[in-house]
Amino acid sequence: MKEIKLITFDLDDTLWDNVPTITRAEVDTRKWIEDKVGKIEWGGFNDFLKLREDLIKEDPVIEWDISKLRKEIFRKKLAHVEPLTLRNELVDEAFSIFISKRHEIELFNGVEEALRVLSKKYILGVLTNGNADVYRFKFGKYFNFAISSLEAKNSKPNRAHFDVALNKVDNITFDQILHIGDHQINDILFAYNLGIDTLWFNNNNAEWVQDFEKPAEFNSWNLLPEIIKNKYE
Ligand SMILES: [Mg+2]
């Protein structure tokens, strides 16, 4: 049996349902901006992808700095606002509204208790592509570290988050890590590529569509401590 020392967690859609949170944050921030400057053409998802691509060409860090990406999108959408100082103020304020709303989350049932139980036996860490900060929440105290794409300077499923994690914990090897997340590629393939054990959080009965073996899955955080106990203790 493997001896697990470190458990790493994805955040968005693993600890909470991210769709309602991000949707509300976007709608409210756009409304705030339009109240200030009038109607903006925000465009659809394809416009967003094109804009993102253009911005990455201008500044490659935007590939993994999603906060900067969001700010630069606001800056493009406000390009007609003069003077520049006003435009920059609006961008900063809009971003701070967005990031505050982005932290209005509701944990899935059982998350806090599972983290409390697991933190007594394991080192816990966060590996996220997003810009949520667990240390804004009370449950942040259960995590020894949190690594975002900003810190990893790369995004999952690339291995950078795990390389940074190795430096956060003394004498740890990939063999002693368990990674838990909802995303088949950004979490499960991400860990699988390095021989790291995984548990797949699958709370909406998704079909496994990868060409490697499906890992153990769970659909309720209330079951997680027991699943880990049975598997590793
Ligand atoms: Mg996720």
CA–centroid distance, 230 to ligand 1, in Å, is 25
CA–centroid distance, 178 to ligand 1, in Å, is 16
Residue 161 gets the label, from left (phi > 0), alpha (psi -120 to 50) or beta, of alpha
Closest residue by Cα to residue 211 from 189, 191, 194:
189
CA–centroid distance, 29 to ligand 1, in Å, is 22
CA–centroid distance, 71 to ligand 1, in Å, is 22
CA–centroid distance, 188 to ligand 1, in Å, is 10
Cβ atoms of 193 and 159 within 8 Å: the answer is yes
How do the domains of the chain map onto residue ranges?
A: 6-17+106-232, 19-102
pLDDT value at residue 11: 98
Cβ atoms of 165 and 8 within 8 Å: the answer is yes
Closest residue by Cα to residue 81 from 67, 70, 91:
91
CATH number of the 19-102 domain: 1.20.120.1600
- Given this structure, which CATH class describes domain 6-17+106-232? alpha beta
Q: pLDDT tens digits for 153-211?
A: 999 999 999 999 999 999 999 999 999 999 999 999 999 999 999 999 999 999 999 99
CA–centroid distance, 180 to ligand 1, in Å, is 10
Q: pLDDT tens digits for 79-108?
A: 999 999 999 999 999 999 999 999 999 999
d(C-alpha 183, C-alpha 157), whole Å: 10
CA–centroid distance, 136 to ligand 1, in Å, is 18
| DSSP one-letter code for 142 | G
Helix or strand or coil: residue 167?
coil
CA–centroid distance, 184 to ligand 1, in Å, is 9
Cβ atoms of 15 and 189 within 8 Å: the answer is no
First and final CA of the chain: distance in angstroms? Answer: 8
Q: pTM value? A: 0.95
- Does residue 215 have a cis bond before it (omega within 30 degrees)? no
CA–centroid distance, 78 to ligand 1, in Å, is 30
Closest residue by Cα to residue 106 from 137, 146, 131:
137
d(C-alpha 15, C-alpha 182), whole Å: 9
Cβ atoms of 126 and 12 within 8 Å: the answer is no
